[in-house]
């Protein structure tokens, strides 16, 4: 019994450390610029958008242009239905300003396939078994195809 408890405790500790997400390290100044471009306002509870408080969940160069990009996630079943999450992609420009590239309800998965200017395709996940994959056309992200587990699917 004692061995079982120790083993379970060790597994719990290992899984906590293995799967713990680390928050991106974003300076307060840059975070402020990123949130403002996405339409969030600073409150005593954090950065609040139209739905709920947001957090920067990704902060890295997504399209290999040498500039940082950020993904803000916010959570609300009132706004986002069964998925319960939405995201906003904000991109740093060459002049140092930030620009909103895309926003959507769902859980973004950045794929290896790419659209124009090196922007990764985005599988827009959530409940279900067939997800829209958005591709950057140089102006905006549009639905390019539907996939489930990397295979084509149809909503019909």
Q: Does the model's pTM come out above 0.85?
A: no
Question: Does residue 12 sit within a domain?
Answer: no
Question: Does residue 146 sit within a domain?
Answer: yes
Which structural domain, as residue segments, surrounds residue 55?
A: 22-152
Question: Does residue 3 sit within a domain?
Answer: no
Which stretches in the chain have pLDDT values below 50? Answer: 1-20
DSSP code, position 93 = -
Rounded to whole angstroms, the Cα distance separating 70 from 82 reads 24
Rounded to whole angstroms, the Cα distance separating 17 from 147 reads 31
Question: Does residue 121 sit within a domain?
Answer: yes
Rounded to whole angstroms, the Cα distance separating 98 from 39 reads 12
Question: Does residue 27 sit within a domain?
Answer: yes
Question: Does residue 117 sit within a domain?
Answer: yes
Rounded to whole angstroms, the Cα distance separating 90 from 35 reads 9
> How many domains does the structure of the chain reveal?
1
Question: Does residue 13 sit within a domain?
Answer: no
pLDDT value, residue 50: 87
């Amino acid at each position: 019994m004692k061995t079982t408890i120790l083993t379970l405790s060790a597994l719990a500790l290992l899984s906590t450390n293995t799967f713990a997400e680390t928050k991106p390290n974003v300076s307060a100044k840059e975070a402020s610029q990123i949130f403002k471009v996405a339409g969030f306002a600073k409150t005593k509870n954090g950065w609040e958008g139209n739905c709920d408080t947001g957090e920067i969940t990704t902060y890295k160069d997504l399209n290999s242009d040498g500039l940082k990009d950020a993904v803000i996630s916010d959570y609300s079943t009132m706004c986002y239905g069964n998925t319960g999450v939405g995201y906003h992609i904000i991109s740093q420009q060459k002049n140092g300003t930030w620009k909103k590239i895309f926003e959507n309800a769902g859980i973004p998965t950045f794929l290896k396939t790419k659209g124009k200017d090196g922007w990764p395709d985005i599988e827009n996940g959530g409940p279900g078994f067939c997800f829209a994959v958005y591709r950057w056309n140089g102006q905006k992200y549009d639905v390019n195809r539907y996939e489930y587990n990397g295979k084509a699917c149809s909503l019909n």
